[in-house]
């Protein structure tokens, strides 16, 4: 449809969302929790040594200033490290400071804005992309992909030249399946074919791929056989989108048993709300969170 316009602001996303009452209730609840953290001085918890993976899907132009403020705030008490270094430090029990590793899912074009902001802080990001959407220009195809795979309005995607720019800037590229299918709805054979297809394209375009993030991100969206297949193919990490952060303190870990957690960031959120999720992650630190949950074993 030639009259379809690609969304380029987060305001447009919010305008089209349902559940405004629910969002208001959620915001009020987070305001109260944020006041609790402030009253009890719990922001000091953010200085706890750990590895915390933070990820976003988009940084629209009207989110950029908030994202820059978040980076400035976090940089005061945290060390930004690459995804690969974060995995290494967790595996090898070298977590002596509060470390943050950034990643992004889905290859939306405004990730280039995010990269510019991250570059200011020498912060590396692992951009998890779906080869099927990279370089899409046909608006109708974009609309279908966004609606069926991402459940969002149509947005512009990165092209391969921009992916190359991200690599030259020191960022990493990760495997996010070929066309953003839900792994738990695929047979194991279908998943293996999809994973290998994505890996082949990404390796050809970007060089060796070391990290995999499955789509949708909740534990029920993944399977133990899929995890095993990823690690058997030489990947260094497999990561979810379930909240939580990581600590070790018990020596070297078996890389093939480690299952990573991430905290989602939407830059449009209030900084106090983002702080709440980060603090909550620290307060719930648990060595057992380094491994597959019982539901997947």
Domain ranges of the chain: 10-296
Cβ atoms of residues 253 and 91 within 8 Å = yes
Looking at domain 10-296, what is its CATH homologous superfamily?
Answer: Glycoside hydrolase/deacetylase (3.20.20.370)
Q: What pLDDT sits at residue 19?
A: 58
Three-state SS letters, 27-48: HHHHHHHHHHHHHCCHHHHHHC
Residue-wise pLDDT for 96-122, tens only, equals 999 999 999 999 999 999 999 999 999
Distance from C-alpha of 141 to C-alpha of 147, rounded to nearest angstrom: 10
Q: At what angle do helices 64-75 and 111-120 cross, to 10 degrees?
A: 30
Taking CA atoms, 244 is separated from 161, 286, 287, in Å, by 34, 9, 11
The angle formed by the CA atoms of residues 134, 127 and 269, to the nearest 5 degrees, is 110
Phi, psi of 259 (to 5 degrees): -130, 115
Q: What pLDDT sits at residue 3?
A: 45
Q: What pLDDT sits at residue 155?
A: 98
Which residue stretches of the chain have pLDDT < 70? 1-4, 17-22, 297
Structure tokens at 83: 């995804």
List of residues 6+ apart from 211 with CB closer than 8 A: 83, 84, 87, 126, 128, 172, 174, 175, 235, 236, 237, 238, 239
pTM, entire model: 0.95
Distance from C-alpha of 56 to C-alpha of 127, rounded to nearest angstrom: 10
Q: What pLDDT sits at residue 24?
A: 77
Q: What pLDDT sits at residue 2?
A: 40
């Amino acid at each position: 449809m030639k009259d379809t316009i690609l969304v380029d602001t987060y305001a447009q996303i919010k305008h089209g969302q349902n559940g405004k009452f629910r969002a208001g209730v959620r915001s009020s609840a987070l305001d109260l929790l944020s006041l609790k953290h402030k009253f009890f001085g719990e922001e000091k918890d953010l200085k706890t040594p750990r590895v915390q993976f933070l990820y976003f899907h988009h940084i629209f132009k009207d989110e950029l200033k908030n994202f820059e403020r978040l980076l400035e705030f976090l940089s005061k008490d945290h060390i930004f490290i690459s995804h690969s270094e974060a995995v290494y430090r967790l595996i090898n029990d070298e977590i002596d400071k509060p470390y943050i590793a950034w990643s992004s899912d889905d290859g939306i074009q405004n990730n280039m804005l995010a990269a510019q902001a991250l570059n200011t802080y020498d912060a590396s990001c692992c951009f998890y992309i779906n080869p099927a959407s990279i370089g899409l220009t046909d608006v109708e195809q974009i609309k279908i992909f966004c609606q069926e795979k991402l459940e969002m309005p149509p947005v512009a995607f990165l092209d391969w030249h921009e992916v190359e720019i991200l690599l030259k800037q020191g960022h990493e590229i990760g495997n996010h399946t070929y066309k953003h299918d839900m792994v738990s709805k695929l047979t194991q054979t279908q998943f293996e074919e999809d994973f290998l297809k994505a890996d082949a394209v990404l390796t050809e375009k970007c060089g060796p791929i070391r990290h995999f993030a499955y789509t949708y991100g909740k534990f029920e969206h993944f399977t133990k056989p899929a995890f095993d297949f990823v690690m058997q193919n030489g990947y260094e990490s497999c990561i979810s989108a379930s909240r939580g952060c990581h600590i070790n303190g018990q020596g070297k870990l078996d890389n093939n048993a480690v299952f990573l957690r991430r905290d989602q960031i939407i830059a449009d959120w209030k900084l106090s709300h983002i702080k709440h999720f980060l603090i909550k992650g620290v307060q719930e630190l648990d060595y057992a969170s380094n491994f597959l949950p019982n539901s997947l074993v």
